[in-house]
């Protein structure tokens, strides 16, 4: 059987599957399931083209990582065949722990565990199935491989994950400002003392990458309509969980039922198996069913989501005062479920945690925002916080 398949990617063109092991991982139902998990949660309610999935993102990130390996080898960084395959497997699987609607429901279906941890659990299961062939990939993913730069390529402030998702999300949303020059950034990467550095002549591309990411956050990921949709979905699951606890709700998805009735149980092998059966389809189907729930609150929330009748949202740079919130609650006393508040925060760049480092021609290495010409980035190291409150649509 031919295991050297090619995928057609609308962004990069042809993506080659580089090895048999990787072919087999992609074929596995755990991975195929990503075909039914939306990359950007409910953002398609705002950007109708954003129906791409974690499946494509994972393949894209793997493809970029191959290019990184090629660039580093050309710069005489020694990377063995074994290391290369492990690196590709690790990036391919870095997001396999995502559940339905990716980040949106990350803490609503299974609690107390982050998707990275679930990814690790999936990798361990696959490792058993594939006779330990994922050992090195897991080591890199956990940051335990001695050559640290491999782990930084998988997860840091300039990791390959970010390069792919920014480019991909920009492509599918049509927000062309988020498009970054992935080729140039990759071609500027280098390794010094086991750290990933960027050669100085790439500094403006990095600046642009940070600004593009910031723009994508405020214009896309935290777009106010998308925000309402996401929170509505979260509210639906909060309510559903409460009802499940009292046996006052059902849903036809066995996997979802299993998970919703054990919200804080520890994440066992059985949890994983059940988790692997659910995807966006189970969630939307449940919401369709719950539009007919006897629980009025749940039913109205579900109808609002499906019919795209979202609550209104107000966003402010200051927290809302209690008086205003009380007023809202009094005004809409019969539709409290549509009043929710929260804060959103985003930091364009964190100079402290796994900072981006610039390699100058004279061999000096400096943290990005300390460059006198890039003081503007220093400003962007401060987190921006905004507050929102919603109220029923009139």
Which range of residues in 80-88, 90-98, 150-158, 167-175 is near a second copy by CB under 8 A? 167-175
Which range of residues in 89-97, 103-111, 282-290, 320-328 is near a second copy by CB under 8 A? 282-290
Rounded CA-CA distance 376/371 in Å is 10
Which range of residues in 181-189, 228-236, 260-268, 321-329 is near a second copy by CB under 8 A? 181-189
Among 17, 41, 44, 198, binds a second copy (CB under 8 A): 44
Other CB atoms within 10 A of residue 9 CB? 14
Answer yes or no whether residue 180 interacts with a second copy by CB under 8 A.
Answer: yes
From residue 364 to residue 383, the character string flagging contacts with a second copy as x (rule: CB under 8 A) and all else as - is --------xx-xxxxxx---
Tell me the H-state helices in the chain.
20-27, 29-32, 54-74, 81-92, 115-129, 135-141, 149-154, 160-173, 182-187, 203-216, 224-245, 254-260, 269-275, 280-290, 296-306, 322-331, 375-379
Answer yes or no whether residue 347 interacts with a second copy by CB under 8 A.
Answer: no
Query: Of the two residues 139 and 258, which places its CB atom closer to a second copy in the complex?
Result: 258
Residues 306-345 that bind a second copy (CB under 8 A): 306-308, 317
With a CB cutoff of 8 Å and minimum separation 6, the contacts of 251 are 240, 257, 260, 282, 285, 286, 289, 290
Query: Of the two residues 252 and 336, which places its CB atom closer to a second copy in the complex?
Result: 252
Look-up of token digits 């080898």: 73
* Lateral strand order in the sheet of 384-391: 312-316, 384-391, 341-346
Query: Phi-psi category of 293—alpha, beta or left, where left has phi over 0 and alpha has psi -120 to 50?
Result: beta
User: Min. distance of Cβ 146 from a second copy in angstroms?
Assistant: 30
For 19-37, the DSSP string reads: -HHHHHHHHSHHHHGGGGS
Which range of residues in 158-166, 210-218, 226-234, 268-276 is near a second copy by CB under 8 A? 210-218
User: Which of 103, 209, 92 has the alpha carbon at shortest distance from 157?
Assistant: 209
Query: Of the two residues 171 and 258, which places its CB atom closer to a second copy in the complex?
Result: 171
Answer yes or no whether residue 211 interacts with a second copy by CB under 8 A.
Answer: yes
Residues that bind a second copy (CB under 8 A): 6-11, 13-14, 27, 29, 32, 35-36, 44-45, 47-49, 51-53, 55-56, 59, 171-177, 179-181, 183-184, 187, 204-205, 207-208, 211-212, 214-215, 218-219, 252-253, 277, 281-282, 284-285, 288-289, 306-308, 317, 372-373, 375-380, 384
């Amino acid at each position: 059987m031919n295991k050297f398949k090619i995928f057609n990617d609308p962004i990069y063109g042809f993506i080659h599957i580089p090895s048999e092991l990787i072919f087999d991982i992609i074929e596995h139902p755990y991975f195929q399931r990503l075909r039914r998990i939306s990359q950007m949660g409910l953002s398609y309610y705002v950007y109708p083209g954003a129906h791409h999935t974690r499946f494509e993102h994972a393949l894209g990130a793997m493809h970029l990582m191959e290019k990184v390996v090629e660039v580093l080898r050309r710069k005489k960084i020694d990377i063995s065949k074994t290391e290369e395959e492990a690196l590709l497997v690790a990036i391919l699987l870095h997001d396999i722990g995502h559940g339905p609607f990716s980040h949106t429901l990350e803490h609503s279906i299974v609690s107390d565990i982050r998707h990275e941890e679930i990814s690790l659990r999936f990798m361990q299961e696959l490792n058993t199935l594939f006779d330990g062939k994922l050992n090195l990939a897991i080591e890199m993913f956990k940051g335990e491989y001695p050559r640290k730069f491999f782990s930084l390529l998988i997860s840091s402030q300039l990791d390959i994950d970010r390069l792919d998702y920014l480019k991909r999300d920009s492509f599918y949303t049509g927000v062309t400002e988020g498009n970054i020059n992935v080729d140039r950034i990759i071609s500027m990467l280098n390794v010094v003392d086991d750290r990933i550095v960027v050669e100085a002549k790439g500094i403006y591309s990095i600046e642009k990458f940070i600004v593009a990411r910031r723009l994508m956050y405020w214009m896309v990921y935290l777009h106010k309509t998308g925000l309402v949709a996401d929170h509505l979905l979260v509210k639906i699951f909060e309510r559903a969980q409460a009802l499940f606890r009292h046996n006052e709700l059902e849903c036809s998805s066995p996997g979802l039922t299993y998970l919703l009735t054990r919200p804080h149980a520890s994440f066992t092998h059985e949890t994983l198996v059940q988790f692997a059966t659910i995807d966006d389809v189970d969630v939307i189907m449940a919401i369709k069913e719950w539009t007919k729930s006897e629980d009025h609150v749940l039913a109205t929330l579900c109808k609002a989501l499906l019919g795209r009748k979202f609550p209104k949202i107000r966003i402010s740079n200051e927290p809302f005062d209690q008086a205003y919130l009380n007023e809202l609650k009094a005004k809409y006393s019969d539709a409290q479920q549509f009043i929710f508040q929260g804060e959103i925060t985003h930091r364009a760049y964190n100079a402290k945690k796994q900072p981006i480092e610039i390699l100058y021609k004279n061999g000096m290495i400096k943290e990005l925002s300390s460059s006198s010409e890039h003081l503007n980035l220093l400003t962007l190291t401060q987190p921006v916080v905004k507050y929102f409150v919603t109220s029923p649509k009139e």
